[in-house]
Structure 1
């Protein structure tokens, strides 16, 4: 055992290869494109928690195949095959032993001089027996191969078993793609955001946006146009809507935004002639994110209106912001009313003053005739002055 045992490094490298194969981003994938701020590990953890919670509510709990049961069943199948092989080899050995005994008996008879009975007729029978043994051996080999292929398929399915949500490297900083086995990720994201709006509870700290992706393709203009054609035909088949096109390109310089937008508008209008572009309040947004050599596509409802660009943190504080804006508007209105009231009061006071002035101006001026006292002589003047001085002394003494 010690000689045939593999080293620990072999198993570590095989696990890394398997993980790398599982984390390769390919085409025709659905999932969620998540953005964060410098903490991708925490972002992935929060995304797993919130996605698994609401997916269990909508679609039920995720079912796992018990690995031990699979291993035991595979071991039983292998043991069964080995037993069949041993039984069949025993049967073949017994048949060969019987054939050798008959040959020895015939040889003994020929040596003793007795002619072998029906020697000519036994020849073709022996040939037929050899052919039947060959056919049986071929059937056995075919059955063994079929069983081995079945076991290989089961093992491949076990190794290729995908979780409902699995992180995939997308090749851009602060961007994480989580693939899913769900056909359409939009209902799940809508349920998450409706719950956040209703309860006004912040569910994530590092995870900022979680945009559903309905399809992935290569980041070439022809491939993107073909993917948008397929999605638009299936999406606008029954009803028409107002739409808006949102394109973001990261780590890629081979695509031109203007040419893509014109081609996408034409495709969407060809899918349904009643579709009209809208810039302010569109019903649906065609969201296109290009990261390196992969394009993420999806038709997202109420992207600019209700769900605040699918920002989970902003949705949790949406009502608070609305209340603040309402309070500011009310304050502004009250201040405006006060200023209007003060202006009215100033006008009233000015009017009253003007009226009073007009009244005073209208009063006729009456001339009062003041007669000076007649003084006859100087003695009288001095006497009057002395009297006035005495009065003053009396008052202030």
Structure 2
């Protein structure tokens, strides 16, 4: 019996895995784990589209910096083509077939590989033979300069240059070595700590920030905390049992490495406003809204008052016009009564005998006497005597004009 057959007989049950164990190992190979490097990407409720956009964006800029990607399976295929296919035996053919199958399953290292991060709306892109901090910084600087929006779903893109277990002791032990190139003597810089925990309750934000600040201060007393314009930013992203660590530059300038906000940034505003400025702007907006609302209410009140006043004036003017009309009517009526009364007085006065005027009885007697005289004197003549003319004038005078007799 050959040695391989003897070895196969010695294998126990632990060597052979159940389907559940195979699935668990396969799932573990596609998840974020300790010892990996890559890029942590946050999105907005669409992880599949986020992964597709990340591959396109990273591939575009990686080809500019590092050149086109060379696949390992292509290299192996090129070496096999140089040999004579007829000289290959069955064993070599099987080895090549296994290599292609492994490449199809993702066992062979590629430049970018998407893995499960362990949190919702978070995608981890594992990188191979790349400087992730340099690549991400180049992408953000280009987007900031061109103001060209190239993604719709991706929000933040954070480089991950180191990973460790997400326990406080393990994190501090790892950072003691990881932070030396930037903060250990003779190197020093101003810094801030950005901490975020997802699906993890072992680490408290304030405690971790204080511990990291104390560690950096021990490395070099010249290291200073600066929350407005820091030279470097220490990023700690905890997801379940893995802590992703990186040190980045211009974190504030590039809007906390947010691709959507970097494109919106105006040319002269490289630095984001501070918290006090944000609070002041919010207070100003609130104050402006309150003033506008008060002005609208005052304007509405003035309009209503003006309408009421106008309605009162119309009523008063209508009443005044009615009163004036009534006064005019009363005046006209009073004038008519006066005229009537005056006419009666005139008639009365006209009926009174005046001095030097003959009364009616006297006129009648004179008329009778004159009639006889005129008839006898005139005969057939048409002329009237002067006495008759005087009587006719006295009868016609209704306004009480004084008539003098002969």
1:334-377 superposed Cα distances (whole Å, 9 cap, x missing partner): xxxxxxxxxxxxxxxxxxxxxxxxxxxxxxxxxxxxxxxxxxxx
Q: Which residue of structure 2 lines up, in the alignment, with residue 379 of structure 1?
A: none
Kept in 2: contact 1:209–1:311 (CA 8 A): yes
Pair 1:221 & 2:188 matched: no
- Using the TM superposition, give the Cα deviation of residue 300 of structure 1 relative to its aligned residue in structure 2, in angstroms: 1.3
**Partners of 1:30 and 1:182 within 8 A in 2:** no
Q: Distance in 1 between matches of 2:86 and 2:243?
A: 44
Distance 1:313 1:173 in 2: 19
Could you tell me whether the CA contact under 8 Å between 1:30 and 1:184 is conserved in 2?
Answer: no
Deviating above 4 A after TM superposition, structure 1's stretches of 4 or more consecutive aligned residues are: 12-19, 67-82, 150-159, 320-323
| Structure 1 residues 73 and 251, CA gap change in structure 2 (3 angstroms) | farther
On the 8 A contact 2:116/2:124 being kept in 1, the answer is yes
CA contact (8 A) 2:233 2:249 kept: yes
CA offset digits 1:194-249 (Å, max 9, x no partner) = 11111111111000110111111111111111221122112335631100011111
1:158-197 equivalences under 5 Å are 160-197=107-144
Aligned equivalents of 2:145, 2:240: Cα separation in 1: 37
CA 1:252–1:318 in 2, change beyond 3 Å: closer, same or farther?
same
Other structure's SS at 2:179 match: helix
SS at match of 2:243: strand
Q: 1:18 & 1:294 partners in 2: Cα distance? A: 18
Contact 2:182 2:189 in 1 (8 A): no
Q: Please give the per-residue CA displacement for 1:2-48, whole angstroms capped at 9, x wherever unaligned.
A: xxxxxxxxxx9999778635413221211111111101111111111
| Greater RCO, 1 or 2 (C-alpha within 8 Å, sep 6+) | 1
Query: Does 2:64 match 1:57?
Result: yes
Give the 3 Å change call, closer, same or farther, for CA 223–50 of structure 1 in structure 2.
same
Q: 1:174 to 1:81 in 2, by over 3 A?
A: closer
- Contact 2:39–2:159 at 8 Å: present in 1 too? yes
Q: How does 1:96-135 map to 2 (within 5 A)?
A: none
Q: CA deviation at 1:283?
A: 1.1
Unaligned residue ranges in structure 1 (runs of 5+): 1-11, 83-146, 333-397
Residue 308 (1) aligns with residue 308 (2): no
| 1:212 maps to 2:159 | yes
Matches within 5 A, 1:1-397: 20-65=27-72, 66=74, 68-69=77-78, 79=88, 160-237=107-184, 239-304=187-252, 306-319=253-266, 322=269
Residue 242 of structure 1 contacts residue 276 of structure 1 at CA under 8 Å; is this kept in 2? yes
CA deviation after TM superposition for structure 1 residue 156, in Å: 10
Counting matched residue pairs gives 250
Q: 1:154 to 1:174 in 2, by over 3 A?
A: closer
**Contact preservation (8 Å) 1:170, 1:176:** yes
The TM-score normalised by the length of structure 2 is: 0.54
Cα distance, 1:79 vs structure 2: 4.7
* Alpha carbons of structure 1 residues 218 and 14: separation in structure 2 relative to 1, 3 Å: closer
Return closer, same or farther for 1:68/1:224 CA change in 2, 3 Å cut-off.
same
TM-aligned CA deviation for residue 259 of structure 1: 2.3
Deviation at 1:171, TM superposition (A): 1.2
Larger Rg: 2
Q: Residues 81 and 153 from structure 1, CA distance in 2 versus in 1: closer, same or farther, beyond 3 angstroms? A: closer
C-alpha RMSD of matched pairs (Å): 3.9
